[in-house]
Amino acid sequence: MAQLKEGEATFNLKCEIWGDDLFFDDYLFPMGYKLFGKNVSLTNKVNFTQSVSRSDLNEDGGQEEIYAKLKLSRPPWQITAKKTNVVVL
């Protein structure tokens, strides 16, 4: 797929990493975003990769429970957000 500029994109998929906590979840850091044009299909696969230190995942005491939150938006910028399974480190 050719690279799109922001004004040409029909869909924007953002990925964020969150810490899963009992009372409220902690935003940890962004993983980036991908832009899609009109020819996107349900079979498109997207990977977000980033190397981080373990201390970046330290959102509370004890073991770390993290997940990714994916936000799909399209004009007029309706946003749908879903979270992945929680991973325990």
- 40-64 burial, b for 16+ CB within 10 Å, e for fewer? beeeeeeebeeeeeeeebebeeeeb
Q: Give pLDDT, residue 59.
A: 66
Q: What CA–CA distance (Å, rounded) separates 62 from 29?
A: 20
Express each pLDDT in 26-73 by its tens digit.
899 999 988 887 776 667 788 898 888 877 777 667 788 899 999 988
**Cα angle value 62/87/56 (rounded, 5°):** 60
Express each pLDDT in 9-25 by its tens digit.
688 889 999 988 888 88
Phi, psi of 8 (to 5 degrees): -95, -10
